[in-house]
Amino acid sequence: MIRHVVLFRFEDSFTPSIEHDWRAGLDGLVGHVPGLRSLSVGRDLSGQARSWDCTIVADFDTAADVAGYAGHPLHTPLIALSSPHTRQIASVDFDVPEPATTHAEQRKGRVHGKIAIVTGGSGDLGSACVRLLAREGAVVVSLDVTPPAEPWHEPGITSLELDITDPEQVERAVARVLETVGVPDILVNAAGIIGRAAPSHESTLAEFDRIFNVNVKGTWLMTKYVVPAMIAASRGSIVNFSSIHGITGGRSVPLYHATKGAVRLLTKSDAATYGEHGIRVNSIHPGSMNTRMSRTAADMSAVGPEAYYRQLVEGNPLRRQGEPDEIAYGVLYLASDESRFSTGSELVIDGGYTAV
């Protein structure tokens, strides 16, 4: 923020009626002059009847806004009104640190005023992200191949049906968001499938294509069509859903693990590429979560659901599965300005599973 301070000496010809009109005109500048945040006028009575010094303090967004202020159509008549009766003594501009966040501003939400796109918004993890981002002040567009199971209760959420493996659908959906909502500040690539539990030699080509199309191609397509708008705006936060098995691998569903490894490295590459444009790209790595996808994996497990869950709990220091909201809060952190120095990072939320 730039603070513009001017000290004037007003002579006794500056009558009360002129002063009234002048001050009324100054009061009307805020909200109409670009970049002008606030303006205040103070007087220092010098002991003489009408001769006094006056300090005007105006806060602007940028130095360019200060330069444009003098010639603004609303300001020039005020200069003409006051200049016959004034003499400028001093003028100075200086940077002022942004004021600390107030309690009222904190209540607005951690992503207040931001626009977010969430893929896989009808799934357990995706819907938790949609709801939390909306509760924290974002306007959210939820994308999924299936509509949400129930209406959204939070304000500011729009749902669009989308197959993220179809380039034309993705391009049209992103164009619609840009036209009707605005440039996304946040992209959460949460859409994903787990596929059938089978070793590589027993997996089919169709299974390979399907899981890579959804988990990898879908993430890439969304990034491909959203990033140009983010580059133009010089801002953005992308959160890609990987998995702990995108880091460690595993035996049960190798194709799924391979896709999550691909997402992890795509995240790092994009972070390195787009950082210069003010775009951050991070990955989130859930452990075993209490979701429909996890229950599907348990049902497909060779050892059966009960043994599957027992193995998960025994190998987890916290002795339980995670809940969708616990992932959503990690996404919220990466999406918000709180993580503005984080890019190319991996946020693991697994109850300590990978620590042992």
The average pLDDT across 167-195 equals 96
Active site residue 333: no
CB-based contact 286:248 (threshold 8 Å)? no
The average pLDDT across 311-320 equals 83
Q: State the pLDDT at residue 43.
A: 52
Tokens 């990033």 correspond to what residue?
A: 227
Task: Single out the residue of 200, 217, 52, 244 nearest to residue 119, CA to CA.
Answer: 217
The average pLDDT across 314-328 equals 90
What are the backbone angles phi and psi of residue 283, rounded to the nearest 5°? -115, 150
CB-based contact 325:128 (threshold 8 Å)? yes
The average pLDDT across 21-39 equals 76
Which tens digits make up the pLDDT trace of 275-292?
999 999 999 999 988 888
Say which of 225, 256, 309, 353 is annotated catalytic: 256
Alpha carbons 184 and 195: distance in angstroms, whole number: 30
Is the pTM of the predicted complex or chain greater than 0.85?
no
CB-based contact 243:285 (threshold 8 Å)? yes
The token pair at 155 is 């304000």
Q: Delineate the domains of the chain, giving CATH numbers in brackets.
A: 2-95 (3.30.70.100), 109-355 (3.40.50.720)
CB-based contact 144:190 (threshold 8 Å)? no
